[in-house]
Structure 1
């Protein structure tokens, strides 16, 4: 997790600091009585709360802050959010103890344990947010709004994931108790924090400061004479220069020619307090094991001999009693995780229902020349910024899903044959609040039928997306879309009800192929958007690519490739 130290554009800082401090200074100099100060305070609160969904909560939380500095308002709402998460974590602990010996609801303990872990992760996100705000002035906080929204969006992801884990009637009763007494508050306060951070621009304009500034990325891409970002470490530069000649820290090989025979052993060999990029080479083979990369194992690179040769496989599934989050063959909770030339599989089949091959939670995770093979829920882009290039992602129902900010470029999206009573949906995004910076963007990909589906591709109904949550977001840019996609393109979450269709955002730009005809798209979809609107989903504005993707050694398209 970043420590909140922010490097930003000098020119922008001068402008923002000079004008904002100057304005606040004028207000303070002219404030000869409490009434004038109160008016200034009320105006600042009004500007920040005008775009909040829950304006009363906004005024209640930041209205008592004795300051006209918007940084203090951000700080207050983030701290209040932390209080709600701590309360929820304590409640999940209590409920875990109460239901520890339950034999009638074996899934209860799994769901509650997952909630405890997720809420701990939420606390880490909020701690990073609090540190960023406390250690920086208003200009830096404003410039870092993309980072703050990234962390706060992850808190919503964890809150929603906690609720997702309760399935049976008995579990739903506990879910309701947890939700009513604490999780709803987590959602409300985190949404408010997102609204306030998103409202910083309104605050500036409300003061008459029409600076027309856009909050830039956390680190600007200054390039040296060799074309590498100036902030990149010497070790990472050497790693990129070596290209295919990577020198691994450890080698995993089933035949005993490496230090370890299992991938899990290789990953768990990560030294304590390791600095730099930890590189693991996994030789060709089929590794039948379940793996979680601990969040402490940052800057890890795992690579294989190709996604048809190095395969990590499993078959845990919901149908046989495992919670969706726990079905994943491979999970990573660590920031700056990279995988290259490797496959992640879940072989439970369509009859296994939810069965995750790959779940990614860590920020700034990247995948190149990898394969994610499964059926329902193949790729769980759980949280944070994620980038996939030259990958193969296959499945049936909601097989690319999650709460993360996900960009998939130059990849094959392969739709497989479902069970006879099922239909296919490519994307199910979990954006639950209007200012969450999350969604799933596919650019320059090929959406196609798998060989076993090809003969039936026109009779088995296949859709681009359906809205998993209230503000579900899926954007398709410059893709080749096959004729397997239904003309309506999208369906509600649970037809025939229109759940989650009021505020979802399903958009398309410059796609080609027979499935790209958008004339008959579902009425709740955005449909074809302009080039200007589509540009907000390109690599830089969407995942702040220039601040971290170059360090992965993976190329990316910064702009449109065809339009």
Structure 2
């Protein structure tokens, strides 16, 4: 019996050995059904990842879904997004382990706190993106490309801004390493969405080509009606409720004093002259519920629904006001562009009208932001935004500015969001000795997406203090802050003081080779394009068809249809006032 058992065990061992040998032979010959299926799936992964820049990272992130024979395009995209989210959460956790002594290094201590908050914002926007993908079917997914690109662009920008804010090399290097996987996967997600046509072809799904953007496979938009206007010539692409609010606060043109070169316009009517009832009234003299704008914002009720309306009476409010991300749909209006200072807006759906946003640091203050908006669907009307360097910061998200006065010196309109500035006066101020003036400095970092800044039907002039020296001090349209900086100037009146070459390169970088700067139908003595700088390889004078891509009705995409319906001011939906 003992021998038989031994023989049986030996036989079993031999049998297993033979089985393993057979499996190995089958694997080599490629005859296994499971193996064929895996190869097919991995081929799909390979094709799917061709749209991305970091292909190895893409393939690795999809190993799990590749094992599912019935995986759909949504499964692949969801997996790509979910892995990005997981890596981003890991990055935030690792970043939290970096400790900076507040007393010894207060700047980097604050920068680290900001970094953590930015990464939390990135996580929230990525979760929104993942929800859209999960709730869409294959045929409708491409219709949400604009929204997804907007959110993903913000996710990437938040990570970049987190690193940029830190100036200690040791801390910066640590954070870059912590976020490397997340940054690569975010870039991949952006390219997957931007090149949706190419991605879906790997599943034999055909969708029509889009029209917007710099890539061949451009983002699609949910199609809404952007062309209708009302009997007063106003467009019908702003929510009806917001239109009523703006009509009730209707008043003067709101051009406030800017340095020595501006003229104050007539004030908006006081709150008592119409049916508009604000939630909070701010008045320095105590005639309102609050004496400070900060206190009025703090009174925002938890879980508030709809607009939260703040009326700010005439007066000087030397405050730094922060509207938080959990305070959406705030509408602030004043008695006309005056002297209210509001510098930070993180929430979605922010609207301001008849207010001056002023940074009083002066030219010696260097980077001194007067207004920063980091939320979606921001709209600023009849306002004055005053500063010197870095005046208006369209940090992230979709934003619209109309009938505003914006003044500054170096890079005074800058950001990483998507902004259109229309029917506004751009005032270039006198900088410090030895400085040059640049109007825009866009920070688009990826070669896909919708980010950039458009100035349309604006007027570019020199302030009175600069006028006499306007030919001695060099003034340029733009300089590229990041690699794929996108700056468009169209249908704008340009003063004679703009340098004929037009654009200034970024120090110690070669972004002039990759950035985008376009002009269309500009006018005035500075509009001659014959001597524009030849080192900017992607500079172009656009045709009408090409310029349409950067009009409000296209560049702001479906977002315009959702948050600018029926605005109480004349706007261009397309070109030439149409």
Same fold, TM-score > 0.5, yes or no = yes
| Compared CA separation, residues 147 and 238, structure 1 to 2 (3 A) | same
Alignment of 1:29-40 (within 5 A): 37=37
240-249 or 262-271, larger mean C-alpha shift: 240-249
542-551 or 271-280, larger mean C-alpha shift: 542-551
132-141 or 546-555, larger mean C-alpha shift: 546-555
Spell out, residue by residue over 1:25-61, the C-alpha distance to the aligned partner (whole angstroms, 9 max, x if none).
xxxxxxx965775576455434433332223333332
Of 283, 286, 294, which aligns to 2:313? Answer: 283
Residue correspondences, number: 506
Of 188, 192, 209, which aligns to 1:196? Answer: 192
Q: Could you say what secondary structure the match of 2:484 adopts?
A: coil
Distance 1:466 1:234 in 2: 38
Q: Is 1:550 matched up with 2:565? A: yes
Distance 1:512 1:466 in 2: 21
Distance 1:470 1:185 in 2: 20
Measure how far apart 1:157 and its partner are.
1.3
Of 211, 220, 224, which aligns to 2:224? Answer: 220
| Compared CA separation, residues 558 and 43, structure 1 to 2 (3 A) | farther
Query: Could you tell me which residue of structure 1 aligns to residue 277 of structure 2?
Result: 247
Measure how far apart 1:155 and its partner are.
1.0
Spell out, residue by residue over 1:260-311, the C-alpha distance to the aligned partner (whole angstroms, 9 max, x if none).
111111122111111111111101111001110011111111001111x3x2
Query: Could you tell me which residue of structure 1 aligns to residue 529 of structure 2?
Result: 518
TM-score by length of 1: 0.84
Q: Is the 8 A contact 1:218 1:547 kept in 2?
A: no
Spell out, residue by residue over 1:414-433, the C-alpha distance to the aligned partner (whole angstroms, 9 max, x if none).
10000111000111111111
Q: Could you say what secondary structure the match of 1:550 adopts?
A: coil
Q: Is 1:293 matched up with 2:327? A: no
Distance 2:292 2:184 in 1: 43
Measure how far apart 1:498 and its partner are.
4.3
Query: Could you tell me which residue of structure 2 aligns to residue 76 of structure 1?
Result: 79
Alignment of 1:47-446 (within 5 A): 47-62=47-62, 64-65=64-65, 66=68, 67-95=70-98, 98-103=99-104, 105-167=105-167, 171-180=168-177, 182-205=178-201, 210-212=206-208, 214=210, 216-218=220-222, 220-221=224-225, 235-236=241-242, 238-239=244-245, 242=248, 244=250, 245=274, 246-307=276-337, 309=338, 311-313=339-341, 329-446=342-459
Structure 1 runs not aligned, ≥5 long: 1-31, 314-328
67-76 or 37-46, larger mean C-alpha shift: 37-46
Measure how far apart 1:63 and its partner are.
5.3
Distance 2:554 2:391 in 1: 26
Query: Could you tell me which residue of structure 2 aligns to residue 23 of structure 1?
Result: none
TM-score by length of 2: 0.82
Measure how far apart 1:435 and its partner are.
1.6
Query: Could you tell me which residue of structure 1 aligns to residue 519 of structure 2?
Result: 508
Distance 2:328 2:422 in 1: 24
Query: Could you tell me which residue of structure 2 aligns to residue 317 of structure 1?
Result: none
Q: Is the 8 A contact 2:389 2:411 kept in 1?
A: yes
Spell out, residue by residue over 1:459-486, the C-alpha distance to the aligned partner (whole angstroms, 9 max, x if none).
1001111111111111111111111111
Q: Could you say what secondary structure the match of 1:202 adopts?
A: helix
Of 447, 451, 455, which aligns to 2:460? Answer: 447
Q: Is the 8 A contact 1:49 1:199 kept in 2?
A: no
Distance 2:161 2:187 in 1: 16
Q: CA RMSD in A?
A: 2.7
Measure how far apart 1:68 and its partner are.
4.7
| Compared CA separation, residues 242 and 446, structure 1 to 2 (3 A) | same
542-551 or 401-410, larger mean C-alpha shift: 542-551
Distance 1:120 1:210 in 2: 36
Moved over 6 A (4+): 222-234
Structure 2 runs not aligned, ≥5 long: 1-31, 211-218, 251-273
| Compared CA separation, residues 555 and 219, structure 1 to 2 (3 A) | farther
Distance 2:492 2:89 in 1: 43
Q: Could you say what secondary structure the match of 2:390 adopts?
A: coil
Q: Could you say what secondary structure the match of 1:556 adopts?
A: coil
Measure how far apart 1:82 and its partner are.
1.2
Measure how far apart 1:73 and its partner are.
1.7
Distance 2:51 2:73 in 1: 15
Q: Is the 8 A contact 2:237 2:562 kept in 1?
A: no
Spell out, residue by residue over 1:375-399, the C-alpha distance to the aligned partner (whole angstroms, 9 max, x if none).
0000110000000000111000000
Q: Could you say what secondary structure the match of 2:526 adopts?
A: helix
Highest CA radius of gyration, 1 or 2? 2
Q: Could you say what secondary structure the match of 1:94 adopts?
A: coil
Query: Could you tell me which residue of structure 2 aligns to residue 24 of structure 1?
Result: none
Measure how far apart 1:132 and its partner are.
1.3
Q: Is 1:478 matched up with 2:503? A: no
Distance 1:232 1:349 in 2: 36
